[in-house]
Amino acid sequence: MLQAIGLTSTPRRDAPPAVHDLTFEAPPGQVTALLGATGSGKTAALRLMLELDAGRGVAYFRGRPLHRIAHPAREVGVLLGDVPGHPSRTARGQLRMLCAAVGVPATRADEVLEVVGLAGLGDQRLGVLSVGMDRRLGLASALLGDPHTLVLDEPAEGLSPRENAWLYGLLRAHAAQGGTVLCTTADPKEAARTADRVITLHDGRLVADQDVADFARTRLRPRVAVRTPHAARLAAVVGREARAARRSVEVVEEASGRLTVYGSNCAEIGDTAHRHGIPVHRLAEETGDTGPESLTGAARPAAAVGLSELPPPTRARPARGPLRPLRYELRRSLGVRTTVLIAAAVVLLSVALSLLLARTDGTALPHLLAAWPTLLPLPPAALGAGLLGALSFGDEFRYPALAAGRGTVPRRIGLLLAKLVVTAGFALLLAGLVVVCDAQSLRLVYGPELVTVPENLPALGASWFGLTVGCAWAGLLAAGVFRVAGAGVAAVLAVPVLVVPLVQKVFAAPSARSVAGLPGRLRDLVWWQFPQEADRWVLAVGRMVAHPVGSALALSLSALVCAYLFTSLRGKVRW
């Protein structure tokens, strides 16, 4: 049972609310249509029910509001607008990514693709799908979690008549298994043909709540369907007699010798045809659909819609713990070519810069291996890691595959931690790959004597990996705060361009203190004794933080973490 109680949207400025005090029920085992013209408040009502927009009132899904449901995707399947996914991602990749977020096995993606008729198109990119395929993929996304309730906004938009019959057969099959279906439509005839119950809205208010028989009888315009080989002659005769009797009768000529007459009845049309000797092959009163199905009989009731195949129920329990958002983030990052292309471009650029820098004698070995000329604010590996971090949240907001209404959002803090872990892993992998490729290229071109193992290798390694991971996190957090990837890239570039000069001014005075005794002082504070070999690692980390670039990066990350917590996590944490 879906219950909407007192839904009222927050008005904007002096405009009236899009939805005002809307209360209705959508019972299980039935298809309920939310009917209204464009601008009547149908979509706004759905968004209020799914807690996507601010307002008053509450919607209960089997007695619980959405934010009180532990696994919303197992309770509510949602289709609002187009499928929000990266255009380069495949249909199968999109669904497998959402499977990780929902907490169901990846094999569920192939099951729902088979049901919606996209089994052979799973490798197609989202950017090339037609409108009808996009709607099918959206319905597949809604069915991933095997939900009890389906909430669909204009599900038949962009579908052919045959696809419409399939769609509503699938919705009716879901209802026949005890599920609840709520879908919106602007076509009264479509509502009468496919729904068990019709709820009519006008200007955001409830106009009528009727079963489909009462709706078709009271709210649809009655008409007489006629087929005759002399359609033009019968139309002229009916119109002439109506004008003579001063009655309001409208005759619409259609293809294949069909007439649709409004304002009359079968008896009057039959008597007129008999008086003028016009043969009639079909004569029927209708109040429902006027589509091709009506040529062979009156409008079919909703119960006559054929049932379509549903995906098998999933028995897998939703995944718990940190693996759920971590799997999602891995599939999101590796599901498009962007990550691989950025890594390949960084490696090639680093190798080229390293070889060019080696032609001069003034470049130190660490800068050669990092491919970091003085004219660049950051080495290519750090810039690439920052770009990957910025895209991690930037693509999330540009192509919002996750939404609270779809029930596919891992806990926000869990999603943040997963992104931090994955971007750090990519940054470390990229940093190590760049050093190895640069070293091998230098040995190949200039000989093995150019590349030697430095004595302070642990300190250099800690600084190098800390720089790349810090840039990746700076791009990630800035993109999460400002909700655009460009802001993440700007935050990465701001560290050496703006923050480092400020830090250098602070450290401009000669240092009177040293961190040489830091390991011993730490050993006195902790209850366990770390080995003596760890002293050089502690000193390396201390020197890295004390370095102007390290201090600037630590300062930027601290500010971005605070900004992210303030802007993104100040609301109630939901699934």
**Residue 191 included in any domain:** yes
Structure confidence at residue 220 (pLDDT): 75
List the chain residues with pLDDT less than 50: 289-304, 512, 571-575
Both 542 and 398 in one domain: the answer is yes
Q: How far is Cα 277 from Cα 271, in angstroms, rounded to an integer?
A: 10
Structure confidence at residue 131 (pLDDT): 87
Place of tokens 């919607």: 59
**Residue 310 included in any domain:** no
Structure confidence at residue 211 (pLDDT): 92
Both 433 and 549 in one domain: the answer is yes
Both 120 and 44 in one domain: the answer is yes
Both 262 and 375 in one domain: the answer is no
**Residue 301 included in any domain:** no
Let me know if 329 is exposed, middle or buried by CB neighbors in 10 A (0-12, 13-18, 19+). buried
Both 342 and 238 in one domain: the answer is no
Q: How far is Cα 389 from Cα 39, in angstroms, rounded to an integer?
A: 40
Let me know if 382 is exposed, middle or buried by CB neighbors in 10 A (0-12, 13-18, 19+). buried
Structure confidence at residue 290 (pLDDT): 43
Helix, strand, coil percentages (3-state) for the chain, rounded to 5, are 55, 15, 35
Largest CA distance in the chain: 117
Instruction: Kindly report the CATH number assigned to the domain that includes residue 227.
Output: 3.30.70
Name the strand (E) or helix (H) holding 107. helix 107-115
Both 46 and 108 in one domain: the answer is yes
Both 89 and 208 in one domain: the answer is yes
Structure confidence at residue 297 (pLDDT): 34
Residue 296 CB partners (closer than 8 Å, separation 6+):
none
How many angstroms from the chain centroid is the CA of residue 221?
39
Residue (of 27, 33, 238) closest to 149 by Cα position? 27
Q: How far is Cα 104 from Cα 73, in angstroms, rounded to an integer?
A: 10
Structure token digits, residue 139: 């319905």
Structure token digits, residue 417: 């931690």
**Residue 509 included in any domain:** yes
Name 79's bridge partners: 152
Amino acid at 376: L
Q: Which residues of 93-116 are buried (b: 16+ CB within 10 A; e: fewer)?
A: bbbbbbbbbbbbeeebbebbbebb
Structure token digits, residue 118: 């996209």
Structure confidence at residue 214 (pLDDT): 85
Conformation bin of residue 344: beta by default, left when phi > 0, alpha when psi is -120 to 50: alpha
Both 139 and 207 in one domain: the answer is yes
Residue (of 108, 129, 482, 125) closest to 316 by Cα position? 108
**Residue 317 included in any domain:** no
Query: For the segment 490-549, what is each residue's pLDDT rounded down to a tens digit?
Result: 999 998 888 777 766 765 655 545 555 555 555 555 555 555 555 555 555 555 555 666
Both 169 and 259 in one domain: the answer is no
- 3-state DSSP of 368-408: HHHCCCCCCCCCHHHHHHHHHHHHHHHHHHHCCCCCHHHCC
Place of tokens 């019972």: 27
Distances (CA, A) of 310 to 57, 83, 501: 33, 20, 62
Residue 573 CB partners (closer than 8 Å, separation 6+):
411, 412, 413
SS3 category, 506 = helix
Structure token digits, residue 101: 């977020």
Q: What are phi and psi of 95, to 5 degrees?
A: -70, -35
Q: What are phi and psi of 77, to 5 degrees?
A: -105, 130
Both 235 and 339 in one domain: the answer is no
Both 171 and 277 in one domain: the answer is no
- Bridge pairing between strands 31-35 and 197-202: parallel
Domain count, the chain: 3
Query: For the segment 67-89, what is each residue's pLDDT rounded down to a tens digit?
Result: 888 888 889 999 988 777 899 99
Q: Which domain holds residue 270?
A: 223-286
Q: Which of 170, 197, 219 is the last residue of a domain?
A: 219
Distances (CA, A) of 61 to 66, 77, 185, 314: 7, 11, 21, 20
Place of tokens 């500010």: 559
**Residue 306 included in any domain:** no
**Residue 302 included in any domain:** no
**Residue 296 included in any domain:** no
Structure confidence at residue 303 (pLDDT): 44
Residue (of 30, 17, 11) closest to 209 by Cα position? 30
Both 46 and 81 in one domain: the answer is yes
**Cβ neighbour number for residue 268 with a 10 Å cutoff:** 18
Name the strand (E) or helix (H) holding 185. strand 180-185
Q: How far is Cα 56 from Cα 40, in angstroms, rounded to an integer?
A: 18
Q: Which of 236, 271, 286 is the last residue of a domain?
A: 286
Find out whether 319 and 328 touch, Cβ atoms under 8 Å. no
Amino acid at 529: Q
Q: Which of 192, 219, 246 is the last residue of a domain?
A: 219
Q: How far is Cα 362 from Cα 368, in angstroms, rounded to an integer?
A: 10
Name 258's bridge partners: 227, 254
